[in-house]
Amino acid sequence: MLENLTNRFNKVLRYLKGEVQITEGNMQQALKEIKLSLLEADVNFKVVKKFIQNISEKAMGREVHESLNPSQQVIRIVQQELVAMLGSENRELNKTAVKPTFVMLAGLQGSGKTTTAGKLALHLKSLDKSSLLCSLDLKRLAAGEQLEIIAREIGVNYFTSASRELPLLIHELKKNATDYGYDFVIVDTAGRLHIDDELMGELRLVKEMLQPAEVIFVADALTGQDAVNSALSFSEKIGIDSIILTKLDADARGGAALSIVSVTGKPIKFIGNGEKLADLEKFYPERLAAKILGMGDMLTLIEKAEKDFDQQQAEILSQRMLANEFSLDDFLGQLKQIEKLGSMNDIMGMLPNLGFKGNVADVHVDEKRLRHLAAVIESMTGKERNNPKIIDGRRRLRISRGSGRPVSEVNQVLKSYTEMKKNFKKPFFRKMLKKFDNFSKMM
């Protein structure tokens, strides 16, 4: 996800960290590289211009110049501006005071609306909210049948009618949903390969009759600025309330994610990060900004652990991280649970500076790499896992032989672990971990 942009930003940040002080000269060089990074990522040029202007004004201010560590101050400013660009905060779905709440999905053909309708219903089901799915796409062949299959797969109800007249179908849907008292009704609508007047007219009719609490534009992240321009057109012609970005897991550039909020003024509420129906996540601007800057996404990782393991285990893990007691045994335990947490590349991307995909070293993890890591740690004694500092050359050679891996890999595991421990001391990570710890105690 956003791999190219992450790599470019990391180079710029390493350059700033190597400077003794921030001057107009080295700041302009850094801003030039940031600007090129964003433009190459297909970010809207107006958004880039405003972003660079904001960083320049703040980075050359008195607070940075008088700081004991000006490079960290600049990095903090870049992070804050990225968060602002992405929408500043996570927002919940709109709800009406009286059941049901109608949610209307809109977007171009191929953006993933139908699958997203199922993903959203499954997400609501996990929150103990009942949903009714319905397709109002009467032109695309088998559109309704596709959504009905998805509804059966996730165990939610699907509304169907013999009527082929849109107004009558909507009337029947509203009556059925009200009679059965569903919490949410998620409506899939027609799409086209390109925006046309007929489509906009049909969507305006659906919106007028349905009176949805929220119109969500479903955008394909891989289409970059086309997705941004389509979102703007839909916003102007029918009115949208929020955005769901699909295929973000396959988007190495990031133009749509970094442009769409600023251009449309509408928040991203969810992101699709895979093909499975469970692959829908709430969107957190702060977390995506951290990933772009190579800081990982520990909070999401802990939440995934909480979902797939038990609450007590997740709390213990966060507390050990806060106390800087995260050991190689803890690391090994997490590696063994990777399969439960999803894609290995996604999970490793959440761990800061481990040398895997999405981090500075730009090394891609695979099944074999994961097994090799586990083999190295398992070849250590309990004493060595709790205190890696005692692992000298002789011990490294023994671990290498025991795991069947070269000494260089043993060195890399130890180096990665040391860097991870350092990151847990940084204010940003401590803030994120404390947020989770406080949240857990309220549950």
241 CB-near residues (< 8 Å, 6+ apart): 94, 214, 215, 216, 266
> 3-86 has which CATH code?
1.20.120.140
pLDDT of res. 356: 40
pLDDT of res. 360: 37
- Cα 318 off chain centre by: 20
pLDDT of res. 219: 94
H or E stretch at 217: strand 214-220
> 101-290 has which CATH code?
3.40.50.300
Q: Where are the domains of the chain?
A: 3-86, 101-290, 294-442
442 CB-near residues (< 8 Å, 6+ apart): none
**What's the pLDDT tens digit per position in 119-172?**
999 999 999 999 999 999 988 878 899 999 999 999 999 999 888 899 999 999
Distances in Å between the Cα of 294 and the Cα atoms of 3, 86, 341, 351 are 10, 16, 20, 9
**Residue ranges in the chain whose pLDDT is less than 50:** 354-363, 439-443
pLDDT of res. 257: 87
What is the Rg, in whole angstroms, of the alpha carbon atoms belonging to the chain? 24
pLDDT of res. 237: 93
Distances in Å between the Cα of 154 and the Cα atoms of 12, 43, 149 are 45, 36, 9
pLDDT of res. 443: 43
DSSP assignment of 24-54 equals: HHHHHHHHHHHHHHHHHTT--HHHHHHHHHH
**What's the pLDDT tens digit per position in 270-287?**
999 888 999 999 999 988
Q: How far apart are CA 202 and CA 190, in angstroms?
A: 8
Q: How far apart are CA 344 and CA 371, in angstroms?
A: 12
- 410: which 2 tokens? 């043993």
pLDDT of res. 413: 92
Domain with residues 294-442, CATH architecture = Orthogonal Bundle (1.10)
Q: How far apart are CA 25 and CA 164, in angstroms?
A: 66
Angle at 219 between CA 184 and CA 366, to 5 degrees: 100
